[in-house]
Each structure stands twice: as C-alpha cells, then as structure tokens.
Structure 1
Amino acid sequence: MNTISLKERAKAQELKYSFEEAFRFRAQVRRNRMIGLWAGEVLGQQDPLLYAENLANWAIEHPSDAELLMKLRRDFDDAKLPLDDAELTTRMHGLLKEILEEMKSG
C-alpha cells in the first residue's frame, strides 16, 4: 500500500495554497486593470489605458478592495463625478468572478 507521509501532505497543501494565492493575485491584477480602464473612460482620462495600468500598479501596494474603492472614490470626487459605491463593489466582485472562471477554463 502506498502511504503518504504527513510531511508530504503538508508540502502538497503548501504548494496548493501557494498556487491558489498566485492565481488569485493574477486575477485581481487583471480585474483592477479592467476597473481602471472603465474608470479612466468614465473620468475622461486622456489615456484610459495608462490610468488603468497606474491603478493596477497602485493596487499591488494597496491590495484590499476597500482601499481600491477609496482610491476610485477620491478620483471620482476630484473629477466631480458621481460614483455609486455599491454599484462599483458589485462590478468589482462580478469582474473578479468572471476572470477567475475564465482563467480556470482556459
């Protein structure tokens, strides 16, 4: 009978966790770029792609969704544009779910 040691199981769990975290991180970066592109267009940025990249890079240093929401809130407030926080949160979660499913399937 082939038995797996406790150390081997622990190592496998560590690898699985590490892979899942890296996978989720890549998905969040993609989501943040997409949110940034949307926001850049709504905000009337001259280069929405640059805004999206800058936002995605900023979000790496500030990984929580709450911080991203506050950053976008400030940008929209500075532009004197309305932003529905609940709608944005729903958009963020929906995009992340879509991206995760897309990444898993292909």
Structure 2
Amino acid sequence: MTTFDERERAFEKKFEHDQELQFKANARRNKMLGLWAAGLMGKTGADAEAYAKELVVADMEKPGHHDVVEKLVKDLAAAGKPTEDHTIRKQSERLLVDAKAQIMNETR
C-alpha cells in the first residue's frame, strides 16, 4: 500500500467518523428540541419523552431540518402556543451547540 493510499483511507475514515458524529448531534438536538417543545405544550414525563422521540423519527423520515421545524410550528399552534419558525430555528441552533458538546465529552 502506498503512502497516497494510506492518506486516502485515513481521510475516508475521518469523513465517516465526522458524519457519524454529526448524525448523533442532530438526533440529540432534535430530542432536546422535542423536550423543549413538549415543556411549552405542558407535556411531562413519558409524554414529553414520547414527543421528543417522535421528533427524532420525523427528522429521519425526510432529509433536512425543515420538516422538524414545520412539525413544531404546527404542533405548538395546535396546543395554543403559537411559535414562529425563526424562534424554533434559533432554539435549534442553541441546542445543536449543546448536543455537540455533550457528544464530544462522551467520546473522550
């Protein structure tokens, strides 16, 4: 195996690792976002956990984060807690930072 092949394999492994971490961070962020929204809707305990899981699954069904935001806007409005999508996106950005930090601490 040449040095070039070894470098290529190392880059591929790093890319795969980075993608896995991003997937985990997005899933964790969605769970945290679901728990945040559940709290706004007055859900607690198992109901809040179930809602958060529902949100994680919703993101896996379609690529992109837009479907999650759309679901939250709709669900919050139905619960009498109308929230604009930019507010949800801002909360999502904050939670993604937290999710990444948690995952990085776990992988050390």
Q: Common fold, TM-score beyond 0.5?
A: yes
1:92 aligned residue:
92
Deviation at 1:10, TM superposition (A): 1.1
8 Å Cα contact 2:25/2:99 also seen in 1: yes
Q: The residue matched to 2:102 in structure 1 has which SS?
A: helix
Runs of 4+ in 1 over 2 A off after TM superposition: 77-81
Deviation at 1:99, TM superposition (A): 1.6
Equivalent positions of 1:3-82 (< 5 A) are 5-45=3-43, 47-82=47-82
> Relative contact order (alpha carbons < 8 A, sep ≥ 6): 1 or 2 greater?
2
Counterpart of 2:51, as a letter, is Y
Deviation at 1:64, TM superposition (A): 1.3
8 Å Cα contact 1:62/1:68 also seen in 2: no
Q: Within 1, Cα distance between the matches of 2:64 and 2:99?
A: 17
Q: Which runs of 5+ in 2 are unaligned?
A: none
RMSD: 1.7
Q: Within 1, Cα distance between the matches of 2:27 and 2:37?
A: 15
Pair member with larger Rg: 1
TM-score (norm 1): 0.85
Q: Within 2, Cα distance between the matches of 1:42 and 1:93?
A: 18
Counterpart of 1:23, as a letter, is L
8 Å Cα contact 2:58/2:67 also seen in 1: no
8 Å Cα contact 2:70/2:85 also seen in 1: no
